[in-house]
Amino acid sequence: MRMALFLTALCLPIFSVSAAKRFSYTEEMYQLGGVAGQGLACQAEKYDQFELLARAIMIGKAQNAQMQQEGIMQYNAGKAETFMAIEAEKFASCNEINQSFAKQKIFDSTLYSDGRVLLYDGTMITPRKTYNASKLYQKDPDAFKKAHEHYQKAIAQAQKNSKNAKKIEFFDNRYDKLKDQF
């Protein structure tokens, strides 16, 4: 139950102006990844839209390539940890998560084809250099299945090696393929 409350709290909108001042870039990306992990684990209807916006925000807010890479790692860590936590609870909190997920203010943001994002509060996020935003995230109908299988393998490997699964780094190879565009 405590985990469900934590996860539901993560799903609250984190992009208010005051929230942006409280979190560093990497902390914000970890939180953003946590929300993405909820949407993926619970197969939220707006998950793909969230991913597209979240990745554009991640790229747009990074001041340099090194910061962006750290943001990607934090985003993926938050996403993986949250997915695995929800999975460990046998997806019991998904009804509540899906209701909150669909109501986030991030969905009132606008993503432009050149990578700029106009947030719901009127803030414009502009990337260091323009890129084709449509290539940032491709909808994958098997995303849940792939994540579930990947995380299960990672957990099994970690248990085999007597390591903590949270220390396994998860990377999204799409960023590496397109990193010269950002």
The answer to the question of residue 105 being in a domain is yes
Q: Is residue 17 part of a domain?
A: no
The per-residue pLDDT for range 31-43, each reduced to its tens digit, is 999 999 999 999 9
Report the C-alpha gap between 181 and 132 in whole angstroms: 8
**Through-space distance between the first and last CA atoms of the chain, rounded to whole angstroms:** 41
pLDDT digits (tens, 9 = 90+) for 134-167: 887 778 888 888 888 888 887 777 777 765 545 5
- Does 16 reside within a domain? no
Q: How far apart are CA 11 and CA 103, in angstroms?
A: 9
What are the tens digits of pLDDT across the range 160-172?
A: 776 554 554 555 6
- Count how many domains the chain has: 1
- Residue with the bigger pLDDT between 175 and 89: it is 89
Instruction: Decide if pLDDT at 121 tops 70.
Output: yes
Which domain range does residue 98 map to?
Answer: 2-11+22-181
> Does some domain include residue 163?
yes
